[in-house]
Each structure stands twice: as C-alpha cells, then as structure tokens.
Amino acid sequence: MLSHPFIQTALIAGTSIALLAGCAGYFVVMRGQVFAGDALSHVAYTGALAALAVGLDLRFGLFVAAVGFGIVLGLLGGRVNADDVIIGTTLAWVLGVGVFFLALFTTNAANSNSNANVTVLFGSIFGISFAAAATAAGIAAGLVVVLLVIARPLLFASIDPAVAAASGVPVRLVGALFLAVVGAAAAETSQIVGALLVFGLLAAPAAAAGRLTDRPWHGLALSAALALAATWAGIVLAYAAPTFPPSFTIMASAAAEYVIAVVIARRRATGRARPDAVPRRTSGPVSTAQALHARLTAEGHRMGLATVYRALRVYADIGDIDRTRAEDGTVLFRYRPDPGHHHYLRCRSCGYSVPIHSEPFEAWTATIGSRHDFTDLTHTVEVLGTCSSCWMHRGEG
C-alpha cells in the first residue's frame, strides 16, 4: 500500500493537517467556538469558489477568506460566543454567496473542471499533488508552532478572561490571532476532507479528548493523537475499500472515536474521584481560584488549576458556593454552609468575611418591590471594609 505515490502524498498531507486540526480543534471546543469554527469552514468554501470564479488558485481564496473572516470574528470579541443567531444568519448568507460564485463558475464555458465544486465541498485526499502536499505540510507545521507558542496565554484567556486580562494577557489580540489560525487550519483541512467536513475533524477528536481527560495539556495531546488516528484509519480504510471515499472514512473514524470516548467516560464517571475537596476548602476567608489551587496542591491533592475552576463553577451554579468580585474584578469564591441567602461583610485587604443579618434590608427590598409591582426580585450586595486585624497591622506590609 505504501508503495503507491498517491498514498504517500496522502499520508504526508493527512498527518500534518490532522495534527494541526487536532490542536486547533481542542481550543475551539474549549472556548465554546464550535459554531464559529463551522462558519469559518463555510467561508472557506465561498472563498475557494470566488477564487475559481475569477480564475485564481482555489487555495488562495480558501486562505484569504477563512483567515480574514477569522480575524474579523476575533476582533468582534466576546460577542461571537454569545450570539449564535448572528453567526447562523451570516453563515447561511455566506453559503448563499458561495452558490452564486458556483453559478458564475459553472456557467463560464471556459471551465472544463466541473468536479472542482465537489472537491471543494468534500475534498479528495487521494487527488492531492505532491507539491500541494508539501506546501500543506509546511504551512501546517508553521501553524502548529504558532498555536503552541500562544497556547499558555490562550488557555489562560479561555478559562478566566478577567483574570487573564488583569495579569496583562492581551485577551482580545490572542483571541483574534487564534481565530486567524483556526481560519488557516480550516483552509488547510478543507483540502483533504473538503470545506463541509473540516469541521468534523476539528470538533470530533477534540470533543472525544474533552470527554476523556480534564487536564488541558493531556487533552491537547490526546486531541491531536485522535485526529491523527482518524486520518490514518480513514486513509487505510479508503484504500482497502475503494468504494468508500476517503473523506467519508476519515469522518466516520473521527465520529467513532467520539462515540467510544462518550461510552468510556460514562462508564468511568461512576467510579471517578470528584473534586469534592474544592468546596470545603473555600470555607473560611474568600479565596481566588489560584490561591485555592495553591492550597490544595500544598495539601497533596493532585488537581490542575482548570479542574479547580471547573469545580468552582459547577458548585457555584448549584448554589454551594457564593461567587463575588473583588474591587479589581478578580472572581472570589466562598463556601455557603446552608442553602439560604446570605450577605457578608468582607475585609478588602485579607478577605476575611462574616455573615451579616440583613433582615432590615430584605424587608426594605420586598417593600419597594410590592410598591412598584415587581415580583421575583434579586439583588447583589457587597459590603466591604477593613477588619480589625488588618487595621491594627496597617502599614506593616
């Protein structure tokens, strides 16, 4: 099998692109930008057809459109995650424009290459030329390096944007750079599996990795490995059973990985140790996630910072932990011993806090609610001060 030049070429292109897609996809899934990634791959399709319609190399259109759109999405910032309607509407229109270019391209009598559309949509890893494969491998290697360089700040900015920004990480720039890389990855990947299927190679291995491990670096490596395995398996299967197009076998392998990962995760979930140590350690003074992580590590718990964040978020969502913000915007957590509603008087320098009786305040809120015909009131009250101990030791630090 390996003696066929087209298999060798496919393996060169497939290996490099799979590694890129696995790495980029892991961050896409973690950042919750799957729909944006989907939109990028559709933009790549329109770009490729636009390039064909005006007589340029289709790869030129792929890259310009996908990278450009990635940067625009990234600069729009957090709004992209929030509003799937905007992405959806734009995505539908972009595809419509792609159809327009397709009509332009196919009605132009000079074009004998009528399969180009199918190639752009569904790819053909066995049809790639050696030169194209070498270029693809080079670009993929470069992009993986870029991803690894920005990986740490990107991870930080993904998990806790406020703290990352406070620590001097250019969150928005990192986000834009990342989506530009995803755009380029989509353009690369669409050469082997096609614009419509890119997205599977980005999402499926990453989602499978996310099911299997909570630790970011393991997840990243696992995601790349799974993407690679899916691509190799796909190539071998397509070679063994020539009726099946390679794009299908690659996608089917990736989807199978995801299903297996879901099953494994479900079987393991029953016996897995949960980060129960997290909420109990938040009793006492309020704590930042980093401080809590440091404390847990010192006590011998083996647990990553991301796990601490995840556990804190889960417990805050179900109401076991109160979440407040310090004056500089850092998120603070505090264990809530019983499910009731509490307010705290908190020291702004050491974080020591005491629950306070707030009945007069609650009564007042209820009164103004009923006076203005409002029901289902909620409120946020932060009372800050300096505790006696800090006041005594002021000026020492």
Partner 1 sequence: MTWNLVADVQQMLSYHFMLNALRAGTIVAVVAGAIGYVMVLRGQSFAGHTLATIGFPGAAGATWLGIGVAVGYFGFCIAGALVIALLPGARRPGSGLGGSGEESAGIGTVQALALASGFLFVSLYKGFLSGLNNLLFGTITGVSDAQVLILLVAGVGCLVVLVALGRPLLFATIDPDVARARGIPVRLLDVAFLVLLGIVTAGCSQVTGSLLVFALLVAPAAAAARLSARPAAAVVLSVGLALLVTWAGETIAFFSPYPIGFWVTTLAFAVYLLAIAHRARLERPGRQTS
**Among 100, 232, 335, 361, contact with partner 1 (rule: CB under 8 A):** 100
Residue 162 Cβ vs partner 1, minimum distance, rounded to whole Å: 17
**Among 48, 50, 51, 91, contact with partner 1 (rule: CB under 8 A):** 91
Q: Which stretch binds partner 1 (CB under 8 A): 68-76, 109-117, 138-146, 301-309?
A: 109-117
Which ranges of the chain would DSSP assign to H, the alpha helix? 5-30, 34-53, 58-76, 79-82, 84-107, 116-122, 130-159, 161-166, 171-193, 198-212, 216-240, 246-269, 277-281, 289-298, 305-318, 359-371, 388-392
User: Two tokens at 179?
Assistant: 């989506």
CB atoms within 10 A of CB 312: 24
Does 251 bind partner 1 (CB under 8 A)? Our answer is: yes
Q: Which of 190, 186, 125, 179 is nearest to 154 (CA)?
A: 179
Inter-CA distances, 322 with 241, 245, 296, Å: 57, 53, 19
- 227's CB contacts (< 8 A; 6+ apart) are 18, 19, 21, 22, 25, 201, 205, 206, 254
Nearer to partner 1, 247 or 353 (CB): 247
In angstroms, the CA 397 to CA 394 distance is 7
**Among 69, 126, 258, 333, contact with partner 1 (rule: CB under 8 A):** 258
Does 30 bind partner 1 (CB under 8 A)? Our answer is: yes
**Among 6, 248, 335, 361, contact with partner 1 (rule: CB under 8 A):** 248
Site residues for partner 1, 263-292, by CB under 8 A, read: 265-266
Nearer to partner 1, 85 or 109 (CB): 85
Does 206 bind partner 1 (CB under 8 A)? Our answer is: yes
Per rule CB under 8 A, count of chain residues that contact partner 1: 62
Q: Which stretch binds partner 1 (CB under 8 A): 52-60, 161-169, 207-215, 278-286?
A: 207-215
In angstroms, the CA 244 to CA 257 distance is 19
Q: Which stretch binds partner 1 (CB under 8 A): 51-59, 194-202, 332-340, 358-366?
A: 194-202
Nearer to partner 1, 177 or 196 (CB): 196
**Among 18, 53, 102, 120, contact with partner 1 (rule: CB under 8 A):** 102
Does 121 bind partner 1 (CB under 8 A)? Our answer is: yes
Site residues for partner 1, 359-388, by CB under 8 A, read: none
In angstroms, the CA 39 to CA 35 distance is 6
Q: Which stretch binds partner 1 (CB under 8 A): 55-63, 141-149, 184-192, 197-205?
A: 197-205
Q: Which stretch binds partner 1 (CB under 8 A): 9-17, 93-101, 142-150, 167-175?
A: 93-101
Does 245 bind partner 1 (CB under 8 A)? Our answer is: yes
Q: Cβ(194)–Cβ(119) under 8 Å?
A: yes
In angstroms, the CA 90 to CA 69 distance is 11
**Among 252, 294, 384, 390, contact with partner 1 (rule: CB under 8 A):** 252
Q: Which of 283, 304, 286, 279 is nearest to 294 (CA)?
A: 304
Order of strands, sheet of 383-385, starting from the edge strand that comes earlier in the sequence: 353-356, 343-347, 383-385
Q: Which stretch binds partner 1 (CB under 8 A): 24-32, 142-150, 179-187, 358-366?
A: 24-32
CA dihedral 121, 123, 127, 132 (to 10 degrees): 100
Does 115 bind partner 1 (CB under 8 A)? Our answer is: yes
User: Two tokens at 345?
Assistant: 């008087």
User: Which residues contribute to the site for partner 1 (CB under 8 A)?
Assistant: 29-35, 37-38, 81, 84-93, 95-97, 99-100, 102-103, 107, 114-115, 117-118, 121-122, 193-194, 196-197, 199-204, 206-207, 210-211, 243-245, 247-248, 250-252, 254-255, 258, 262, 265-266
